[in-house]
Amino acid sequence: MAWPVVYYRAADRSEPVNDAIDALAVKVQVAIDNQIERLGLFGPDHGFPSTSQIEGELRELRCHFGGDHYRILYQRSKNMFVLLHFLAKHSAAVPAADIRIAKDRWDDFASRMNERPRRPPRAAGHDAP
């Protein structure tokens, strides 16, 4: 079973993770897209060293290209994964400011997905069910 992996969509309809990846060189984009695809293929079984828990249900997806290290902070929403924040990794720990961005985006995602009736823009990207 494949797991849907979607990009968080902000209220202004931007997709910050997708936009950050698109700003990179094509070879780097391919490496990152491959790691995102593996997350969808393996789902929760896609564990260490490719992913690890950050805090609570917030996790990081580790992406490498040569000597460059990138992280995508994501969280599971029932049967899909929501990519919340992208960063280039320069230190051992994920900075608290980046964790806060991901948590704020998750809170926004959850509040809009739980809204009745749901109003556009949808809280997850173009691949959302």
Any domain includes 119: no
Any domain includes 128: no
- Alpha-carbon distance 121 to 59, whole Å? 25
Q: Render each residue's pLDDT in the chain as its tens digit; 129 residues.
A: 589 999 999 989 999 999 999 999 999 999 999 999 999 998 888 777 889 999 999 999 999 998 999 999 999 988 899 999 999 988 888 999 999 999 999 999 998 888 887 766 666 765 454
Q: At residue 6, what are phi and psi to the nearest 5 degrees?
A: -125, 155
- Alpha-carbon distance 45 to 86, whole Å? 21
Residue with tokens 């992406």: 63
Quick check: pTM over 0.75? Answer: yes
Range of the domain at 71: 5-113
| CATH number of domain containing 69 | 3.30.2310
Residue 45 burial (C-beta neighbours within 10 Å; 0-12, 13-18, 19+): exposed
* Overall domain count for the chain: 1
